[in-house]
């Protein structure tokens, strides 16, 4: 359970890759060969907190309280015909309270391929095996802002069948004590959820200091400077120069 008494919660769902070892200065074709796994990632953003951090020049310590994953990671060869030159022909589907909130062409929404993104990420450093890099969220046109009592389901669809990564199912609880995000990892895509988060939110009178985001787990969303940040939000990470 994640304490979310602050308003303005939005998901940033995106396709991400896990890499093998990649040397500094890799070219896009070499970088693309390092992709080992594909997965669905949802970064959570509190917009009012993000605006305050941007206005004061602070890092993203409080505006990004969670990074969540769909339960299944797959190798690129499990998307025959859909994975090509560092892009995946998948539909990002977001459902709020059982209704489709957005359906986005993930391939068309990627201005830069994963080969370009990974090559850019190695400009000044190598990447170790296990590095997670996200493509950024495709532009939805209208933000998906959750309120207390809402439920949300996020998945990548390939045709009419279940998504290849399973789904991320979330419920924003409506409680007098606190609003909390309950997350189910739905591996079989049937909507019932296969695992329930068990951590309880801190009490309302808790004096526990806020926790900073673990930047080591966020080696993601690297975007070339030339890219217009339609699929990410300003202030996520410093943007490197265009490849």
Q: For the residues of 154-218, what is the DSSP string, one character each?
A: EEEESTTS--TT-EEEEEE---SS--EEEEEEESSSSSS-S-B--PPPPPTT--PPPPPP-GGG-
Alpha helices in the chain (DSSP H): 28-33, 47-56, 114-121
- Would 220 be classed as within a structural domain? no
Provide the pLDDT for residue 170. Answer: 83
Domain that holds residue 106: 2-198
Tell me the C-alpha distance between 239 and 242, whole Å. Answer: 9
The CATH number of residue 14's host domain is: 3.90.850.10
- Would 120 be classed as within a structural domain? yes
- Would 226 be classed as within a structural domain? no
- Would 222 be classed as within a structural domain? no
If one counts the domains in the chain, the total is 1
Two structure tokens written together for 93: 């589907």
- What long-range pairs does 60-66 form, CB within 8 A, spacing at least 24? 60/213, 60/235, 60/236, 61/210, 61/212, 61/213, 62/210, 64/213, 64/218, 65/2, 65/4, 65/213, 66/2, 66/181
Quickly state the pLDDT bin for 219 (edges 50, 70, 90): very low
- Would 185 be classed as within a structural domain? yes
- Would 40 be classed as within a structural domain? yes
Q: For the residues 179-189, what does the mean pLDDT come to?
A: 51
Q: Give pLDDT tens digits for 113-164.
A: 999 999 999 999 999 999 999 998 877 666 677 777 788 899 999 888 788 9
- Would 79 be classed as within a structural domain? yes
Provide the pLDDT for residue 236. Answer: 40
Q: For the residues 43-49, what does the mean pLDDT come to?
A: 80
Element (DSSP H or E) covering residue 38: strand 35-46
- Would 210 be classed as within a structural domain? no
The mean pLDDT value of the chain amounts to 74
- pTM assigned to the model: 0.68
Q: Give pLDDT tens digits for 19-44.
A: 999 999 999 999 999 999 999 999 88
Is 239's pLDDT higher than 70?
A: no
């Amino acid at each position: 359970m994640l304490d979310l008494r602050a308003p303005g919660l939005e998901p940033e769902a995106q396709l991400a890759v896990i890499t093998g070892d990649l040397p500094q200065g890799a070219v896009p074709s070499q970088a693309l060969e390092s992709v080992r796994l594909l997965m669905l990632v949802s970064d959570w953003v509190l917009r009012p907190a993000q605006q305050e951090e941007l206005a004061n020049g602070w890092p993203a310590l409080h505006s990004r309280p969670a990074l969540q994953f769909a339960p299944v990671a797959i190798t690129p060869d499990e998307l025959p015909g859909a994975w090509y030159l560092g892009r995946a022909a998948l539909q990002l589907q977001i459902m709020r309270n059982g209704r489709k909130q957005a359906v986005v062409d993930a391939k068309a929404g990627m201005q830069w391929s994963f080969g370009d993104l990974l090559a850019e990420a190695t400009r000044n450093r190598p990447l170790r095996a296990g590095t997670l890099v996200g493509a950024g969220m495709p532009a939805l046109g209208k933000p998906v802002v959750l309120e207390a009592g809402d439920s949300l389901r996020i998945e990548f669809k390939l045709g009419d069948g279940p998504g290849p990564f399973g789904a991320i199912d979330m419920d924003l609880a409506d409680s007098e004590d606190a609003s909390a995000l309950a997350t189910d990892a739905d591996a079989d895509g049937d909507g019932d959820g296969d695992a329930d988060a068990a951590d309880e939110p801190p009490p309302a009178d808790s004096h526990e200091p806020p926790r900073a985001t673990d930047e080591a787990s966020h080696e993601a969303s690297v975007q070339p400077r030339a890219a217009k940040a339609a699929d990410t939000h300003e202030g996520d990470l410093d943007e490197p120069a265009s490849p």
